[in-house]
Amino acid sequence: MGGVGLLTFLSVPSFQKTVKKILIKDTAQLKLDESVIDQFLTDASREQFWLRFSTAKRIMIISYTYAGFMKSILPYHNKYVRYRGQITGRFMHSTDFFMNKMDTEKPIQYIQFFNPYKQPCNNPFAVIHYPETA
């Protein structure tokens, strides 16, 4: 019985690997080097960003990410989408994607971990970034 539990524990991917898989999938259409994601993961750990995701939330994120066709029977799909959006959104704000006017042809560079309490207010959708629409 204990062997089955140990085997299950060892076969479950870590939360960091799951987040990396999510970010790779969510940014697949962008020009992005994998090292940008690695730097974000390192900085997010340093900033203790992952503490906002309790053990239950982490298990849910891992389960949904690797569930495949079984996603339809898992509960709390809307919460999974929200948590995934929080992770991907924080990652995108940590890059120069919005400063480059969301140009998908430009390679994306990592700037620094986005922390709204440590950085000045920035609205990537402000008119100053798009003077042609003013």
Residue 6 is assigned to a structural domain of this protein: no
Residue 9 is assigned to a structural domain of this protein: no
What are the mean pLDDT values of the chain's consecutive 10-residue runs (134 residues total)?
47 87 95 95 95 94 87 86 95 91 92 83 62 62
Domain that holds residue 39: 14-133
Domain count, the chain: 1
Residue 125 is assigned to a structural domain of this protein: yes
Nearest to 23 by CA among 97, 122, 76: 97
pTM of the model: 0.81
